[in-house]
Amino acid sequence: MRYTESKEKSAEILRLTLPLMAQHRAAYHPQTYTIWYEHTSGINPRLSNELEQRLARNESLSDDDIWRLHANFVIARDAEALERMHQRLHTLLSDTATAACSAGLEATQFNQTLQIHKSQLTQPLAMDLITDIVAELITDTERMRVVTQELSEQLERSTQEVHQLSEQLKHAEHQAKLDPLTGMLNRRGLEQRIQSFVQDAESLQGGVMLLADIDHFKMLNDTYGHLLGDKVIRSVAQVISESIKGRDIAARIGGEEFAVFLPDTSIEGATILAKRISAATASRTIRRAGTDRSIDRVTISVGVAASTATDTLETLLDRADKAMYAGKQAGRNRVTLYEPSLGALRAQAESPYPPA
């Protein structure tokens, strides 16, 4: 959903929302603010009704409560809006087809009338009969003109509305594939991009999957708070986005987990890229908001798996995931390869690596 409140209005909503958030156990992450923002602004009546019932029972909302409310009343609401747009498009097409069919029947009848009158006019007729024929032709022609005009107006209205709905659908479908925190593809977006790739290339063979996970992220969140945790996620996302090019596909597929598919790439080339991403992440300085103090160095563990002709996204991610977790168990902050031919995982030297 796109919010339309002005800067002044949103500032007032912020002032009202913060005390509400402070009364509950849930952390101050974007989903929490979304829940209370939509409640305070009055734009989500169903959510407000649910919240008011919980508040009446003096319930303190936890992180799990917030995620469920967000899924049931924000994400589901947007999905319903998308479905309504699809339904409206279907109705428009149906109405237009009905109008065209009606106009077609009128045109057929008009043509039949013309043929009858044409046949009549080939014979000698009395003046009063000719006058009747001309009057009937005028009436039928006017009726046909009205039907044609109505159809033209209906088509114009439908065309405009279809265009508007198409633009809304494009925007909604595009937004549904993006992770709101980082702007990267989300899991759904990754699945669709991989599906399109497979349709064009026939298989995933020749590509490599990188799966990166931020080390000790829960500890980082607990130590510095969720706002800084979000900042770390955005920082890693930026490193990854700046490191890929061309047909490479990157996505945030979990809380602190990122996937990168590299088409037509050797395992050696993918490993070099994984090392660059790891080194760039570790070299970044992330400062706490409002201070000059930086947090401890952020590192990532990266699993690398080469694709085969029979791979699906799930099987390829699974091997990269196994490699990544092997790297975690080996001490974190490293790139780990999955090599089926060796029947084992091979961990590379610890990061940071020298830049290429």
Over the chain (356 residues), the average pLDDT of each successive run of 10 is 78 88 88 88 85 87 85 70 63 67 70 72 71 75 75 71 67 70 89 91 93 94 82 94 95 93 95 96 85 83 94 94 93 88 48 41
- DSSP 3-state of 345: strand
Neighbours of 29 (CB within 10 A): 19
Active site residue 256: yes
Residues 6+ apart with CB under 8 A from 275: 335, 348, 351, 353
Q: What pLDDT score does 174 carry? A: 60
Contact 233, 181 (CB under 8 A): yes
Q: What pLDDT score does 12 carry? A: 86
Q: What pLDDT score does 92 carry? A: 66
Q: What pLDDT score does 52 carry? A: 87
pTM listed for this prediction: 0.57
The rounded distance, in Å, linking the Cα atoms of 91 and 286 is 52
The rounded distance, in Å, linking the Cα atoms of 24 and 233 is 24
Q: What pLDDT score does 255 carry? A: 85
Neighbours of 163 (CB within 10 A): 10
Q: Could you tell me how far CA 17 lies from the centroid of its own chain?
A: 27
218 phi and psi, to 5 degrees? -60, -40
Q: What pLDDT score does 81 carry? A: 63
The rounded distance, in Å, linking the Cα atoms of 11 and 77 is 24
With the C-alpha atoms ordered 253, 258, 263, 267, is the resulting torsion angle positive or negative?
A: negative
- DSSP 3-state of 4: coil
Catalytic residue, from 191, 256, 257, 268: name it.
Answer: 256
CA-wise closest residue to 254 among 238, 279, 273, 237: 237
* Backbone conformation region of residue 331, classed left if phi is above 0, alpha if psi is from -120 to 50, else beta: left
Neighbours of 244 (CB within 10 A): 16
Q: What pLDDT score does 89 carry? A: 65
Contact 144, 106 (CB under 8 A): yes
- Tell me, what amino acid is at 305? A
Torsion of CA 273, 277, 279, 284, to 10 degrees: 160
Q: What pLDDT score does 90 carry? A: 63
82 phi and psi, to 5 degrees? -65, -40
